[in-house]
A and B are shown apart, each in its own frame.
Chain A
Amino acid sequence: MIYLQLFWEFFQTGLFAVGGGLATLPFLYDMGARTGWFTAHQVADMLAVSESTPGPIGINMAVYTGYTTAGIWGSLCALVGIVTPSIIVIVIVAAFLRAFRDNRYVNGAFYGIRPASTGLIAAAGLAVAVSALLRPDAWQGWSRFWTVLDWKAWLLAAVIFAVSKKWKKLHPAFLILIGAAAGAVFRFAGA
């Protein structure tokens, strides 16, 4: 029953992904590896689509995954799955707002969860970077380790990083557009 499975997978993601949109990323990698619904490449593509369209990223990713896996009804199940834990948790928290903010167990738990969530996103980012910047099939041993580096992709990454630091207000969709144009012209190894 794919619909129920989509709901359940995204319910778990909504329940355990703490700290906003990108926190769903490691859960999507894990989900793709376990279910075979999508590849790691597709997760990165999904992220680019989500960053370039309106709406919360986590929601966009759920809808996109649901659609590519099982059409419109699939995206509806994924969407309901990912927002349901939020609704339940927030309604409970809203009812006990003050007590929640001052509770030492709650504060303690989030003291630990916050860096863990950042670490999970970092690991997911590393996986994207490896697939975008390296060519593992060109490996010829440590003495010639540089052969695995896709230097055109590294150059693009350096340019994008510099631009994103120089103009901090610049919309990510603009950077993604530059990346798409550069990819179409220069043909990176990660295709």
Chain B
Amino acid sequence: MDTLAPLFHGFAVALTPDNLIYVLLGSLVGTVIGVLPGLGPTASIALLLPVTIGMDMVSSLIFLAGIYYGAMYGGSTTSILMNIPGEAASVVTCIDGYQMARQGRAGPALGMSAFGSFAGGTIGVAAVMLISPILAETALKFGPPEMFALLLFAFTCIGSLTGKSQARGLLVACIGLLLGSVGTDEIHGVDRFTFGTLYLQDGIGLVPLAMGLFGMGEILYNIERREETGSVLKTPKNLLPTRQDWKDSGWPITRGSLLGFGIGILPGGMPAVASLLSYAVERRMAKHPDRFGKGAIEAVAGPETANNAATAGGFVPLLTLGIPTNSVLALMLAALMLHGVTPGPLLLFKWPDVFWGVIASMYIGNVMLLILNLPLIGLFVQLLKVPYRILSPLIIMFVLLGAYALNNSHIDVLATVLFGVVGYLMKRFGLEPAPLILAYVLGPMLENNLSKALILARSSGMSIFITRPISGILLALTFVVLVYPILQWLIGRRAERSRSSAA
């Protein structure tokens, strides 16, 4: 009952006509973004962030959350019909989804993917609702040392889990931390790295940074690496899975929901990781693993469920601890901050409308997406026929327009273009921009808590982090995350040596 009363309040917030429109709009925009290859949810949310400034605080978050989970729904469409993932989390759906389409079973693949997404999203939101209040209550007991240790742990996981190389990821994250330290220092009032310019005194703007790195960077990359797909699209007719399809997908959907949610709440636990892991689990548990890669419906159902559950799971650390676990959630955190909301354990108690309103909107959005997505498949197929060569200049227009609209400043436009070049270079040389943006957002929080903890510690200095049990445990976990890949490498090298000596 303790949970139901605030949830009903959340529904009262989410069911207002304005918010219902934002749920619908966000879900549809998200689905379209997911359907269109080459424009992921991070880039799109970055582009739409300036638009949300004029909105009510709850509505803006409802809208952005809708885009996020809508993109997860939509991502499967291009994977199944064109063998091109609409966004990263749908990469594995290509494998069996496209094979099903080639066998004339695109309809059941799309149908099961939509149902799996709905199940994963709904179960995930229910888990968010149950876990978040408990976590927020616990986090209220955290002081600056515990918060610093927790943020450091999250930061290390993010740097380690994104991309192929831990050192590269952490280095990119360090650059993000540096960018986050530009501007007037809050504690001492000293200007850092401003080079005497007024523009940099308030720090580097998140919107030009995010729009540049993700939006403009992606566009420039696509212009340079132009590839024509040449695929012939047809609207699938029968979307309903057979009885056998349901039977095959039941357990993968259940497992995908649990696995996806578990991955989603971990720092660095992106939906793409959840879907990949779900595919691996399903393949291992399958009675006939040889069917995988040849059009197995459970290989579509499991990953599509897992990525939606992970999307919901990511809201737990965001709303209760103020820690975004991926770049999309970092932008949502920025959206909250732009509206004057301090994300963290107090959010649940000080701004219950935001928390419960967003949770309720996610239930509504999932239902809307299930009802709307299947009948709209024909429309999405038509949309995929619009040439990217027309869409690309229009996306550039919206990026530049959004950058200007933020502060009516052409310097923001210049910053967006410059960060676009940086984003392009990062993509070209295989560097993930996600740790940079996450570190940029987490950096000021890390510094703030570190300074407060050191002031609190006075003469005891850094030992405050080890003597307090929670921060001590979190720092030990951070150490494990850092050392594990080195140990793995050493063990691998030793095994290789012993193999070669035996040969």
- Bound pair: A and B? no
